[in-house]
A and B are shown apart, each in its own frame.
Chain A
Amino acid sequence: MTLSHARTVFISGVVISSVLFAVLTYDTHMKFSGKTYEDKLTAQVASGKWVWQKYNCNDCHTILGIGGYYAPDLTKVTAYRDAEWLKRFIKNPAKVWPQERKMPNLHLSDQEISDIIAFLSWVGEIDTNGWPPKPLMGAVTSGAPGKAVFENNGCSACHKIGGVGGAVGPDLTKVGSRRDKAWIIDQIRNPKIHNPQSIMPSFAKLPDKDIEDLADYLSSLR
């Protein structure tokens, strides 16, 4: 092979790949609006994105799987945390989450907090081609459908079962010996019924079947 052949390899490699990439980029642009629900991308969402950047959230948290690996991924955070919980948490992270690894209090204004929650809600709707995937183990616990509800809603972030889980809420390993199903259903729907000071978010938004399954599962833990 001569030098001019080699040059041809170089030029064609670059040109073919660039053209293909440019075409795909154009097509992707045409589809962004649908994939990301741009019609819901309001001015408040855009302000929230700037809040996200202003406080450099992305160097601890991942979002869409990109960023620092020091704190949980926030892509679908609004699916298991309601706005009220998020607001309380951002206002004073150490109080709501007295775990050892802490988030610093960034002293966001109330406006900034509602903006960033709007941003996170919008991100949660993005069609990510199925990422993050549902855990396999959560999906195969068909024997106890409530266990999957427990896993998929991030309950273990606060509650321990059998030594696995967070320490923010009570240990649920033997919760069935303390509480009956009806009590648990009330607690899931409105935690403040039993304790007006409770920091647990309401899960009333879950489908009735899921709440039923979850209560069955938890009340069976004795």
Chain B
Amino acid sequence: MKYESQRIAYKYFAAATVLFGLQVIFGLLTAAKYVWNYDPLIDILPFNTSRAIHLNLLIFWLLMGFMGGVYYLISEEAGSEIYSTRLADFQLVLFTAACVTALAGYFFGWTWGIPFLEQPTILKAVIVAVFLVFLFNIFMTMLRAKKWTVIQGVLLIGLITLAGLFFAGIFFIRNLSVQFYYWWWVIHLWAEVAWALIAGSMIAFVLLKLTGVDRAAVEKWLYIELGLGLFTGIVSTGHHYYWIGTPLYWLWVGAVFSVISPLPILLMVIDTLRVVKEKKLEVQNRAALYWAVASAVLHFFGAGVWGFAHSLPQINKWSHGTQFTASHAHFAFYGAYVTLNLAMIYFAVPRLSGTETHARVTHLRTFWIMNLFMLFVVFSFTIAGVVQTYLQRIMGIDYLTVQGFMKLWYWTLWVSGWGFASGVALYLIDFFSLRSQES
């Protein structure tokens, strides 16, 4: 740690870690409802509430992790303390309050009722305020330091689009097709643009610091990968516009851009592996390096391969709205963003607590357990989705009968979920023991 104000990052990481633990608990509760038809919680925590909480916790903890990561890296990049640590503290309190209120509200039916964006409008306004405080604090830090790097520039655009695109999901639109058209600007474009830019700058920073490779080379590749990634990513929103009341030409547009969209991610994998191979420092912190490499490789499989597998209209026509989408969603969010946050956390927390050289076996055990069982979770959803596509869509057997035929894969999902949860439990122990070594 070089700057005192970097300490603020730890609080964000701690909040993110707690929310991550909760997300997994609600994942298990939600999955149980697929396994057992009898649901003792139906009047307290029906499936829709449980799913809303599981999804919201994902968004909240990833954002919390991004905020921590950005507060950690911005001082070192700009070469200056954070503009205002009090503002950063205020932002943390405000965001935590918004998250907790939203989650508690779902139990009482206080919802806006659009998936992922269930937060009532007033809380969305608070979340916008959080984004603006964040953007202001980061921008002022950069402005005051007067030192600009490519990583900072990319980050800044990421933060602006993060706040800007969220507006597409705030307003009630009478026409459901139009509502969903703009809903994708938050769901797809957030991930493909705002989050990609923030994550890109975070991963570039971690790789730079871990491996000691030439900054100019890292920054050059950051530009190229993000340039190509955004080129395919923005228009490939079109593969969500096949069947929602939109013109037929989206089938062509979505198909063409979906075909090329895995390529920039593949480039990122190759580049990450190259950086690691050409490293100039002996990497002490293997956990951070492993997670950084995993975030490139699993991003490629989760978003690239699993996405492409059903993004052509000829296939999507049959698979749209089945559990195959759930398999892709789990793999892509985990592969691209969960791994990235963990890379950042495993990189930054030992530095913050001065235990940098302390390599522990649990770190890597956590890595392997989480990754292995997430693959099983993904495979369970994938097979369930394929079974559903064939029986329900192609053979025309009714929805609930087909759910019965999918039961085996709900069981494997449930068991894998527990395996994954054990990895997350290890991570929680890991995280909080890293800090306690400081005292």
Contact = CB atoms under 8 A, between A and B. Distances in A.
Given A64-B177, A66-B321, A133-B393, A101 B228 contact: no
B115 interface: yes
Nearest to A6: B223
B397 A57 contact: no
A62 B321 contact: yes
Contacts of B398: 154, 156-157, 165-166
Given A123-B176, A133-B318, A133-B393, A102 B39 contact: yes
A208 interface: no
A87 to B, nearest CB: 20
A2 B245 CA distance: 45
Interface string B394-410: 11111111010000000
B159 to A, nearest CB: 15
A62 B235 CA distance: 24
Given A50-B172, A133-B317, A32 B178 contact: yes
Contacts of A27: 247
A12 interface: yes
Contacts of B112: 53
A157 B47 contact: no
A101 B410 CA distance: 14
A129 B248 contact: yes
B123 interface: no
A99 interface: yes
A31 B250 CA distance: 12
A14 B113 contact: no
Interface in A36-63: 36, 38, 41, 45-46, 49-50, 52-60, 62-63
A57 B52 CA distance: 11
Chain B's interface size range is 35 or more
Given A14-B227, A135-B393, A54 B247 contact: no
Nearest to A43: B174
Contacts of B372: none
A59 B51 contact: yes
A55 B175 CA distance: 18
Given A58-B113, A59-B118, A64-B245, A6 B49 contact: no
B235 A70 contact: no
A196 to B, nearest CB: 27
A100 B38 contact: yes
B393 A132 contact: yes
A49 B176 contact: yes
B298 to A, nearest CB: 23
B350 interface: no
A72 B399 contact: yes
A151 interface: yes
B274 to A, nearest CB: 15
Interface in B208-243: 216, 219-221, 223-224, 226-235, 237-238, 241-243
A64 B179 CA distance: 12
Contacts of B43: 104
Contacts, number: 233
A52 B113 contact: yes
B436 interface: no
A84 interface: no
B115 A127 contact: no
Nearest to A47: B174
A131 B227 contact: no
B47 A60 contact: yes
Interface stretch (B86-94, B125-133, B322-330, B427-435): B322-330
Given A3-B223, A49-B174, A100-B38, A129 B111 contact: no
B323 to A, nearest CB: 5
A166 to B, nearest CB: 6
Contacts of A69: 321-323, 325-326
Given A28-B246, A72-B400, A17 B231 contact: yes
Interface string B18-37: 00000000000000011001
Interface string A16-40: 1110110011011101100110100
Residue with the greatest number of chain B CB neighbours at <10 A, chosen from A10, A59, A166: A59
24 contacts: A2-B220, A3-B220, A10-B230, A17-B231, A17-B232, A20-B234, A28-B241, A35-B247, A38-B175, A54-B111, A57-B48, A57-B113, A59-B115, A59-B118, A68-B51, A69-B325, A126-B245, A128-B243, A133-B317, A133-B318, A137-B394, A137-B395, A157-B398, A166-B400
Given A126-B176, A164-B397, 17 more contacts: A6-B220, A18-B234, A21-B237, A24-B249, A24-B250, A28-B241, A28-B250, A31-B247, A52-B113, A55-B113, A69-B325, A69-B326, A71-B47, A99-B37, A127-B245, A128-B245, A129-B242
